[in-house]
Chains A and B, each alone.
Chain A
Amino acid sequence: NAGVTQTPKFRVLKTGQSMTLLCAQDMNHEYMYWYRQDPGMGLRLIHYSVGEGTTAKGEVPDGYNVSRLKKQNFLLGLESAAPSQTSVYFCASSPLGAGKDEQYFGPGTRLTVT
Chain B
Amino acid sequence: DAKTTQPTSMDCAEGRAANLPCNHSTISGNEYVYWYRQIHSQGPQYIIHGLKNNETNEMASLIITEDRKSSTLILPHATLRDTAVYYCIVRPNAGGTSYGKLTFGQGTILTVHP
Choose from B36, B41, B95, B103 the contact partner of A96 (Cβ within 8 Å): B95
B99 A103 Cβ-Cβ under 8 A: no
B44 A102 Cβ-Cβ under 8 A: no
Complex CA–CA separation, A92 to B45 (angstroms)? 10
B43 A42 Cβ-Cβ under 8 A: no
Q: List the B side residues contacting A31 at CB < 8 Å.
A: 94, 99-100
Q: List the B side residues contacting A90 at CB < 8 Å.
A: 43-44
A108 B93 Cβ-Cβ under 8 A: no
Choose from A48, A97, A99 the contact partner of B101 (Cβ within 8 Å): A48
Q: List the B side residues contacting A107 at CB < 8 Å.
A: 42-43
Q: List the A side residues contacting B94 at CB < 8 Å.
A: 31, 94, 96-98, 101
A101 B106 Cβ-Cβ under 8 A: no
Chain B interfacial residues counted at CB < 8 A? 23
Q: List the B side residues contacting A94 at CB < 8 Å.
A: 94, 100
Complex CA–CA separation, A4 to B43 (angstroms)? 10
| A43 beta carbon closer than 8 Å to chain B | yes
| A111 beta carbon closer than 8 Å to chain B | no
Q: Which of A12-54 contact B (CB under 8 A)?
A: 31, 33, 35, 41-45, 48, 50
A37 to chain B, nearest CB (A): 8
A98 to chain B, nearest CB (A): 5
Contact with A along B70-95 (1 / 0, CB 8 A): 00000000000000000100000111
A98 B95 Cβ-Cβ under 8 A: yes
Complex CA–CA separation, A94 to B99 (angstroms)? 9
Chain A interface residues toward B at CB < 8 A: 4, 31, 33, 35, 41-45, 48, 50, 56, 58-59, 90, 92, 94, 96-99, 101-108
